[in-house]
A and B are shown apart, each in its own frame.
Chain A
């Protein structure tokens, strides 16, 4: 399985943008880049995903490097409710169990008021 690398932790101030990086240098051409987050005492929650082009939704934006070896999750205005562990996950078709999500350690985001 392709591996992702994320910083262990990041800090942000409330109402400022946050850029959460993810490196995935061994990504294959058919791997989708997914982001999930886990708020304290809750289950993981889908944030956004993409393949090659940048993506926007109501929660965040996903910027994907041209060579696809890295990506950045962008929270445009962080709120205290965005404090969570953010996971960058590659979903590919190498194995039969393509529904499985492989969670790394993620990035713990702290948002200061």
Chain B
């Protein structure tokens, strides 16, 4: 089954404690990205990757890092989480960035609370 898998689904952490949210896709997609969803602000892109070892900033990259060492995995790293990073996070993948008429697949989401 084609899917994007995120872990963990829920996470409560303390300010400053480094954490990683994993994302994996099984569709051999080139393009992967991370979004955060906040009430009243909708979904906003954090970082994206067009292929292995190619990553770039989205609209709200501050406080986040990513890596793309393998095609299937795209972890989101919060080196020093702060309360304003409390949010619902989604990983997404699609075939490639140039194909406008294909669909994107989203993970189930990770609800992060930073206290």
Q: Which A residues fall within an 8 A CB radius of B?
A: 30-32, 34, 36, 41-46, 49, 51, 91-93, 96-101, 103-106
Q: How far is the CB of A100 from the nearest CB of chain B, in Å? A: 5
B58 partner residues in chain A, CB cutoff 8 A: 97, 100
B108 partner residues in chain A, CB cutoff 8 A: 42-43
B56 partner residues in chain A, CB cutoff 8 A: 97
Q: Are B33 and A104 in contact (CB under 8 A)?
A: no
Main SS at interface, chain A? loop
The verdict on A91 contacting B100 (CB below 8 Å), with A43-B90, A44-B90, A99-B94 known, is: yes
Q: Are A51 and B101 in contact (CB under 8 A)?
A: yes
> Among B40-48, B67-75, B78-86, which stretch is in contact with chain A?
B40-48
Partner of A105, one of B33, B42, B45, B101: B42
Q: Are A99 and B104 in contact (CB under 8 A)?
A: yes
Q: How far is the CA of A77 from the CA of B105 in the complex (A)?
A: 25
Q: Return the chain B residue nearest A47 by Cβ.
A: B103
The verdict on A100 contacting B107 (CB below 8 Å), with A44-B90, A93-B100 known, is: no
Q: Are B100 and A104 in contact (CB under 8 A)?
A: no
Partner of B42, one of A31, A45, A97, A104: A104
